[in-house]
């Protein structure tokens, strides 16, 4: 779909605001006929970069469809570098649908998912990493994840990559000249400094990638424990609201409950699971199966234990189960620490934090430790550049590997043509991030995940 560039010469239209009732809804048009199509529907002339009040009228019937505010922005100083018209309608589904239908009837085509942003990329306004950051801004769930996304949107990743690619391109051009013109006097140069500088840039970007992806994707966190240890109460505390049912009756939660909590800037997808128990009915068995599935998906497990009671068999079974999962980060949470009498929970293989879901005692220490585990023990500074896209990290790692091979080849005295093979591969890997060497299939995969209208 996105590999056919000829289709991007037409004019597209879509609703660019969420469906449903609201104060305002926007129908966006982009392309060479955007102004003429709008002129058929809008009862007043539009001027460049002016917001104009008027009415959308059905040309066939003369019926007024909606009172709107319309704006026209002439190319190339627009989001897509094409002519753009945006019609601000009343935010109900029907006005938006009618205005969009009229735009399509009079010459526009319905936009594909992400096609406005794709056109911005194809027309050179943004590179591919910035285009992907657009979706990250839309999907950001915390202020910190928004900050990381805005860095990418503003070209934060593009700048260091541009420096690295420039050095590698220069080195490749020199080595290619030596190979192609062996009889000419090509002045001797040492390309190692350029390669080592590029390697330094890539290492710095890769070192922050895991933290960046935490801000972007969040951390799936399973809250597990036997019945009635306070898992749902802890969930509500971390969320700052009552989301899960809390009852003194054991076994209240029989299914998993998922909510996103903003904890020190990190989005945690909290999964409140059904309690562990030996005797289970059909409903409890289904709940337990889903609880185990949640643990398998989780990157972090909060093991909730009752600080006011000795360990039970069901506690020990759960501890044994989690001990076998060596790839899981586990944090033991000793709940109900507000009780006067505290039982010994024995020796645990993981860090533990004492809290009271009832009073909030220890909650700050728990949140701090959760954030530390999620970010690998470090906290990103406000100006730190973080790679947050798994695709970008994979490209950086591949490029780093090719650079290491190129430097090793130089050190071993390998012929220049062997070194150029690795340099070319590294440049292609970096070009996949910014879009210089992107394939049509990759564009399909990236932009098909966007919403229509963006």
* Residues 130-159, mean pLDDT to the nearest whole number: 92
Last-in-domain residue among 374, 407, 423: 374
Residues 393-403 have pLDDT tens digits of 999 999 999 99
Residue 440 in domain: no
Same domain, 349 and 425: no
Residue 123 in domain: yes
Residue 441 in domain: no
Distance CA 394, CA 445 (A): 16
Residue 170 in domain: yes
Residue 439 in domain: no
Same domain, 199 and 223: no
Q: What residues does 70 pair with on adjacent strands?
A: 52, 87
pLDDT of 363 above 80 = yes
Residue 283 in domain: yes
Residue 364 in domain: yes
Q: H-type helices in 72-154, by residue range?
A: 93-105, 115-122, 128-139, 143-153
209-217 vs 390-411: helix crossing angle, rounded to 10: 170
Residue 452 in domain: no
Q: For residue 76, count other CB atoms closer than 10 A to its CB.
A: 12
Q: How confident is the model at residue 220 (pLDDT cuts 50, 70, 90)?
A: very high
Same domain, 298 and 223: yes
Global pTM reads 0.81
pLDDT of 145 above 80 = yes
Mean pLDDT across the chain, nearest whole number?
Answer: 87
pLDDT of 253 above 50 = no
Cα separations in angstroms, 182 against 40, 186, 208, 225, 310: 65, 8, 42, 72, 81
Same domain, 120 and 162: no
Contact 40, 65 (CB under 8 A): no
Cis omega (within 30 of 0) for bond into 76: yes
DSSP assigned state of 42: B
Same domain, 232 and 284: yes
Same domain, 37 and 162: no
* H or E stretch at 90: strand 84-90
Concatenate the DSSP letters of all residues of 47-88 into one string: -BT-EEEEEEE-TTT--EEEEEEEEEE-TTSSSSSS-EEEEE
Residue-range definition of the domain harbouring residue 33: 5-127
Q: Specify the CATH number for the domain of residue 355.
A: 3.40.50.300
Same domain, 103 and 155: no
* Residues 33-62, mean pLDDT to the nearest whole number: 96
Distance CA 8, CA 123 (A): 10
* Residues 156-182, mean pLDDT to the nearest whole number: 92
Residues 72-128 have pLDDT tens digits of 999 999 999 999 999 999 998 999 999 999 999 999 999 999 999 999 999 999 999
Distance CA 105, CA 56 (A): 14
Longest Cα–Cα distance of the chain, Å, equals: 89
Q: What angle do CA 424, 429, 434 make, to 5 degrees?
A: 115
The rounded Cα 426 to chain-centroid distance in angstroms is: 25
Q: What is the pLDDT of residue 340?
A: 61
Same domain, 119 and 136: no
Residues 276-296 have pLDDT tens digits of 544 454 434 555 666 678 788
Q: What is the pLDDT of residue 281?
A: 45
Same domain, 238 and 370: yes
Q: What is the pLDDT of residue 3?
A: 52
Same domain, 269 and 173: no
Same domain, 299 and 320: yes
Residues 170-210 have pLDDT tens digits of 999 999 998 888 767 778 889 999 999 999 999 999 998 98
Q: Specify the CATH number for the domain of residue 58.
A: 3.30.1360.120
Residues 313-357 have pLDDT tens digits of 888 888 888 888 777 899 999 999 887 666 667 678 899 999 999
Same domain, 239 and 148: no
Q: For residue 423, count other CB atoms closer than 10 A to its CB.
A: 26
> How many distinct structural domains can be found in the chain?
3
Q: Specify the CATH number for the domain of residue 197.
A: 1.20.120.430
Contact 271, 258 (CB under 8 A): yes
Last-in-domain residue among 88, 109, 127: 127
């Amino acid at each position: 779909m996105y590999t056919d560039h000829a289709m991007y010469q037409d004019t597209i239209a879509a609703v660019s605001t969420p469906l449903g009732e609201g104060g305002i809804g926007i129908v966006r048009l982009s392309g060479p006929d955007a102004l003429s199509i709008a002129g058929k529907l809008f009862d007043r002339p539009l001027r460049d970069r002016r917001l104009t009040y008027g009415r959308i009228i059905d040309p066939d019937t003369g019926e007024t469809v909606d009172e709107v505010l319309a704006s026209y922005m002439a190319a190339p100083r627009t989001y897509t570098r094409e002519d753009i018209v945006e019609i601000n309608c009343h935010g109900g589904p029907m006005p938006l649908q009618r205005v969009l239908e009229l735009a399509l009837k009079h010459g526009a085509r319905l936009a594909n998912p992400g096609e406005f942003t794709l056109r911005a990329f194809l027309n050179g306004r943004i590179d591919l990493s910035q285009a992907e950051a657009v979706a990250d801004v839309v999907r950001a769930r915390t202020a910190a994840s928004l900050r990381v996304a805005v860095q990418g949107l503003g070209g934060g990743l593009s700048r260091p990559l541009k420096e690295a690619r420039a050095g590698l391109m220069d080195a490749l051009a020199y080595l290619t000249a030596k190979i192609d013109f062996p009889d000419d006097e090509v002045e001797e140069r040492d390309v190692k400094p350029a390669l080592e500088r590029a390697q330094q840039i890539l290492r710095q970007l890769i070192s922050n990638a895991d933290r960046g992806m935490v801000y972007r994707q969040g951390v799936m966190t399973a809250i597990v424990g036997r019945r009635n240890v306070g898992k749902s109460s802890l969930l509500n505390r971390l969320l700052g609201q009552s989301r899960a049912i809390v009852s003194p009756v054991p076994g209240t939660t029989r299914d998993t409950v998922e909510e996103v909590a903003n904890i020190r800037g990190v989005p945690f997808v909290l999964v409140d699971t059904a309690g562990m128990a030996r005797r289970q009915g059909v409903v409890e068995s289904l709940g337990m199966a889903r609880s185990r599935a949640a643990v398998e998906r989780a990157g972090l497990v909060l093991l909730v234990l009752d600080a006011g009671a000795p360990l039970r068999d069901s506690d020990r079974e759960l501890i044994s189960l989690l001990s076998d999962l060596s790839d899981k980060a586990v944090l033991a949470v000793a709940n109900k620490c507000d009780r006067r009498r505290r039982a010994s929970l024995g020796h645990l293989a993981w860090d533990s934090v004492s809290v009271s879901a009832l009073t909030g005692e220890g909650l700050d220490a728990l949140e701090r430790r959760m954030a530390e585990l999620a970010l690998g023990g470090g906290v990103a500074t406000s100006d730190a550049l973080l790679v947050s896209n798994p695709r970008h990290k994979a490209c950086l790692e591949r490029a780093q590997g090719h650079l290491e091979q190129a430097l090793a080849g130089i050190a071993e005295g390998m012929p220049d043509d062997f070194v150029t093979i690795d340099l070319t591969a590294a440049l292609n890997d970096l070009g996949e991030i910014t879009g210089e060497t992107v394939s049509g299939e990759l564009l399909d995969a990236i932009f098909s995940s966007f919403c229509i209208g963006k």
